[in-house]
Structure 1
Amino acid sequence: MATQIFKIATLQKGSFFQRIFKQYPGDNAIIEVNNLLAIRDILSIKNEEIEAIGQKYELNLQQEYALNLQEFYAVLWNQYLKLEDSSDMMNQTNHLAALLNLKRSIQKSFVDP
């Protein structure tokens, strides 16, 4: 992909007690998902990689960060609309929706606003 759609973000540092108990700030989970999207081709990302991030932070990404996940999809969808030859981008958009477990109703809201 010629343009970088997602930008790498810096992870938050944990508090003193989080570092002692080897806990991670929960918001780092969504930052890690963002960074994965920034450094890898979306079609090469596997479901297990997204699930591993949720497990690492002991949370359900779809419940805790539903709006952020929808925003990732919206950003990619917006890029899809800008491109003239966009068959590859459509594949990426569909793959991202599957990776993030986005409901069909959410996907459909972008197609039929």
Structure 2
Amino acid sequence: MRSLLPLLMAALVAVTAFPDGADAVWTPIANPPGTLLVKQVGNFTVIVYSNAAPRRHRPLQLVTVVRGETQPVGNGVTDYRLVLAVNNTDTGSTAMYQCVVRGKPGSRATTWVLRSFALYTQAA
């Protein structure tokens, strides 16, 4: 039983040091439309969402990243919460969406995860 104590302490430190976003703070991105990484994350998000359902392709295209925030997850992984202006290329209409994407800058696209994508409604 004594040999488990260091392992349990290490697990407790890992959970405390790298919370899963519950207590972490969202930090605003200074110039989201002018940041290459943020534009790439926005494009990735729209492409993944557009092709999420093989039988129901959505003809969406990123117009711009309106605003964004980041939140560290741990081990260089970051959550990106973005508000995107997205154009429907079939109808020509533009709508605002909020998404959360998790990934590690500089890593492969397969390690990035689209966690949410929904119509953006501003809080009153």
Larger gyration radius, structure 1 or structure 2? 2
Query: Which has the larger strand fraction?
Result: 2
Which structure would you say has the larger RCO, counting Cα contacts within 8 Å and 6 or more residues apart?
1
The TM-score with structure 1 as length reference comes to: 0.27
The TM-score with structure 2 as length reference comes to: 0.25
